[in-house]
Amino acid sequence: MAHEQETEFEMIDENVAKIFAELPEGVELVAAAKTRTPEEIMRAADAGVRIIGENYVQEALKAFELVGHKVKWHFIGHLQRNKVKKAVEIFDMIETLDSLDLAKEIDKRSAQVGKIMPVLIEINSGQEPQKFGVMPTAAEDFIHEATRFKNIKIRGLMTMGPAFGDPENARSFFVETKNLFDRIKSLEIPGVEMRNLSMGMTNSYRVAIEEGANIIRIGTKIFGPRE
């Protein structure tokens, strides 16, 4: 067991090194850590990962106890309103803002702890009704409305795109989200700072970088397949 674990930890080191070696200047790696243990996350941090992405607040709190401020923490899952109070305490960015109700709650809870929370707007680039995210056509209005919340700071867009299959299938979704990003940026909306475009996962991050992502979120290629 101890031996197996050491082998697994060495794999994390190697995987992180490989990804960094091909990462262009200016592109940030988020290690998507859902289902991983705090020890695995710590190992990724020791290997040089600077941002951990978490889908679940409860899991993040456990990992945070061990890893703390050694890394930045990005929330990348679907955030429920009753989890926001805890979330604003540990997260440095919420990448998945997708409703004004949620914006209002993040604003309120951030004010209570004296924070201005950087957020990305999650775009439902596939326009699939069963998925989360703001529809591309609604994004501009959404951002205008969200600027009334003074304890959140809009910093860009995030999208999922298809998670499996041929990475080429994701390209059109990434292109569309990049176009939307550029258009919103060109509006120079007061209080909005369009800096980050978070797209691409293990199967699609190369395509995402080609199409302008400057944050990629990688789980499997760092930690191995999820059980």
Per-residue contact flags (x/-) with ligand PLP for residues 164 to 193, judged by CB under 6 A:
------------------------------
Does 217 participate in binding ligand PLP (rule CB under 6 A)? yes
Per-residue contact flags (x/-) with ligand PLP for residues 78 to 117, judged by CB under 6 A:
----------------------------------------
Do residues 60 and 88 lie in contact, with contact meaning Cβ atoms separated by under 8 Å?
no
Sequence letter at residue 209 = I
d(CA 103, CA 151): 9
User: Considering CB under 6 A, how many residues would be counted as binding ligand PLP?
Assistant: 13
Work out which of 76, 120, 192, 215 binds ligand PLP, going by CB under 6 A.
76
With contacts defined by CB under 6 A, name the span among 7-15, 79-87, 185-193, 212-220 that binds ligand PLP: 212-220
d(CA 217, CA 53): 7
Sequence letter at residue 59 = E
Does 214 participate in binding ligand PLP (rule CB under 6 A)? no
Residue 165 C-beta-side C-alpha neighbours within 13 Å:
7
Residue count (the chain): 227
At 133 the three-state DSSP class reads coil
Q: Catalog residues that contact ligand PLP under the rule CB under 6 A.
A: 32, 34, 55, 76, 160, 163, 201-202, 217-221
